[in-house]
Structure 1
Amino acid sequence: MNQHLCLNDIAPGQHAVVSALCSTGSMRRRLLDIGLVENAQVECLGRSPGGDPSAFLIRGAVIAIRSEDCADILVHRS
């Protein structure tokens, strides 16, 4: 069984699969709109020099997501 992690727990170069979104309201809608749906593949491409935000490859697009928003995205390693 795969351990569930938050999106910000995966390091640059690692891949994960979205398990669930815990966000609500407009942030949830934005995350769904960029393709963060259940079973979506995600790759961490890197973090900014200060560590926030992080860049992720999601459905062919590079998306920067803040750490506080990453905490509401549950994933498991693929």
Structure 2
Amino acid sequence: MTLDKQPPGSVGVITAVGGEGALRCRLLDMGLIPRTKVKVVKTAPLGDPVEIRLRDYELTIRLADAALIEIEPLTDEYKVPAGGAAE
């Protein structure tokens, strides 16, 4: 499932980051790396962009970029991997 499909309030762990070249490097440089916990905070009134919280900071990204980020939604019984504090 991709990050752009998650509703506000949902939490997940990044499993893969797509894209190529400079775009992929930019996403990784912003901290969007596998095994990082991420929470969807809110979306803009028209749905784009989306605000997310990861590693103790907020980040706003376009839906097109969020569509490149694969996540595994978290449930109560899921154990958060090391290095991924989003809340």
TM-score by length of 2: 0.81
Identity %: 32
> Which consecutive aligned stretches of 4+ in structure 1 deviate over 3 angstroms post-superposition?
none
Is 1:57 equivalent to 2:57 in the alignment? no
Counterpart of 2:23, as a letter, is: M
Task: Work out the number of aligned pairs and report it.
Answer: 74
Other-structure match for 1:76: 72
Find the structure with the greater CA-based Rg.
2
TM-superposed deviation, 1:9: 1.3
Secondary structure in structure 1 of the residue aligned to 2:72: strand
Please report the RMSD computed on the Cα atoms of aligned residues, expressed in angstroms: 0.8
TM-score by length of 1: 0.90
d(CA) in 1 for partners of 2:70 and 2:53? 16
User: Separation in 1 of the partners of 2:10 and 2:65?
Assistant: 19
Gapped runs of 5+ residues in structure 2? Answer: 75-87
Structure 1 distance, partners of 2:32, 2:55, is 9
